[in-house]
């Protein structure tokens, strides 16, 4: 059925059969479409602003770029539908069946109702979430072993390395990274030796949350104090192993962080080569503490 560019504004088509219809850029503003069969329909860039789609079947429909602002999709079926770049501001998605939906770059706002979105297929036990963007990721997590394995690998092997990325200090951090690789860890270097922004702070916090433990060289600290302020007070399950070259003093405010149980005693090294050679001695306490945290021990119990 070819309804491309059709003007169907405010039309009443409740329970109609529009399966596989071509409604490209059709105007369905405020249309009454409750229970309509839109299976495999092409609705890309159509205007469904304020339309009533309660209980509609949109299985496999292409709604990419569509304007669904203010639309009522309560109880609709969106199995394997494409909502890429769709405008869902003010829309009601309560109780939609969204197994397999593609919802990348959708436009949402505070008025979008997303309660009780069903992410499982009809023949599976029901699992509901309250955010359509989170929904597709949650389902992938539940049913894709490779993704779970990747996340397990990151959180069990990642080591965040922090310090000053200047001159001789940078070569120390790079040497740590190389040795950690040899020991089958997943080293992550994050250079924030510049004025911090909100995005950088959020990124650092996320990386720290993924890490098994943190190695931080506080020698000649610059950005390090701010880095630790993001990590230490807020992540009691992430051990932090501070390092400093012999002959140098830790910065004045470090004693504030040294009081936290998950911050280990400072390891003082003589040279880059000595530090690398002694890496097992350096990281073993942090690794053991991380293992205890993973087994459910609190910081107080683990120490």
Residue 120's pLDDT is: 85
**Mean pLDDT in residue range 103-130:** 89
Given a cut of 90, whether residue 224 has pLDDT beyond it is: no
Q: How does pLDDT run across 200-219, given as a tens digit for each residue?
A: 778 888 888 889 999 999 88
Q: How does pLDDT run across 44-56, given as a tens digit for each residue?
A: 999 999 999 999 9
Q: pTM for this one? A: 0.55
Q: Which residues contact 197 (CB under 8 A, 6 or more apart)?
A: none
User: Which of 4-18, 38-52, 212-226, 255-269 has the lowest average pLDDT?
Assistant: 212-226
Higher pLDDT, 26 or 100: 26
Q: Give, to the nearest 10 degrees, the angle between helix 224-231 and helix 198-210.
A: 60
Given a cut of 60, whether residue 198 has pLDDT beyond it is: no
Alpha carbon separation from 168 to 1, 163, 175, 267 (Å, rounded): 70, 11, 11, 18
Which among 80, 85, 88 is positioned nearest to 136, based on CA atoms?
80
Residue 249's pLDDT is: 79
164: confidence class by pLDDT, cuts 50, 70, 90: confident
Given a cut of 90, whether residue 168 has pLDDT beyond it is: no
239: confidence class by pLDDT, cuts 50, 70, 90: very high
Bridge-based pairing state of the strands 213-217 and 240-245 = parallel
DSSP 264: P
Distance, CA of 251 to CA of 132 (rounded, Å): 46
| Mean pLDDT, rounded, of the chain | 87
Q: Which residues contact 172 (CB under 8 A, 6 or more apart)?
A: 163, 217, 219, 245, 272, 275
**Mean pLDDT in residue range 267-292:** 93
240: confidence class by pLDDT, cuts 50, 70, 90: very high
Higher pLDDT, 20 or 224: 20
Structure tokens at 170: 């940078």
Residue 196's pLDDT is: 52
Q: Give, to the nearest 10 degrees, the angle between helix 145-157 and helix 132-143.
A: 90
Q: Which residues contact 208 (CB under 8 A, 6 or more apart)?
A: 160, 214, 230, 231, 235, 238
């Amino acid at each position: 059925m070819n309804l491309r560019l059709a003007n169907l504004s405010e039309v009443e088509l409740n329970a109609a059969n529009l399966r596989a219809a071509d409604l490209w850029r059709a105007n369905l503003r405020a249309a009454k479409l409750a229970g309509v069969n839109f299976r495999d329909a092409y609705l890309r860039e159509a205007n469904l602003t304020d339309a009533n789609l309660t209980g509609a079947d949109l299985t496999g429909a292409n709604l990419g770029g569509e304007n669904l602002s203010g639309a009522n999709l309560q109880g609709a079926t969106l199995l394997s539908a494409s909502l890429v770049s769709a405008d869902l501001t003010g829309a009601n998605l309560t109780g939609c069946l969204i197994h397999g939906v593609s919802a990348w770059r959708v436009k949402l706002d505070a008025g979008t109702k997303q309660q009780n979105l069903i992410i499982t297929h009809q023949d599976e036990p029901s699992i509901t979430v309250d955010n359509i963007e989170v929904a597709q990721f949650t389902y992938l997590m539940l049913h894709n072993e490779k993704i779970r394995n990747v996340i397990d690998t990151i959180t069990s092997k990642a080591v965040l390395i922090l310090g000053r990325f200047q001159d001789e200090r940078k070569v120390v951090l790079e040497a740590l990274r190389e040795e950690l690789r040899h020991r089958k860890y997943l080293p992550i270097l994050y250079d924030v030796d510049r004025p911090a922004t909100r995005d950088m702070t959020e990124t650092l916090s996320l990386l720290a949350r993924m890490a098994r433990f943190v190695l931080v060289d506080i020698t000649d600290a610059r950005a390090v104090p701010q880095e630790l302020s993001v990590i230490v007070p807020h992540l009691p399950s992430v051990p932090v192993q501070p390092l400093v070259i012999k002959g140098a003093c830790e910065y004045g405010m470090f004693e504030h962080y040294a009081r936290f149980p998950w911050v280990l005693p400072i390891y003082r090294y003589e040279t880059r080569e000595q530090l690398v050679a002694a890496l097992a001695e350096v990281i073993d306490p942090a690794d053991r503490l991380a293992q205890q945290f993973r087994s459910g021990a609190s910081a107080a119990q683990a120490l």
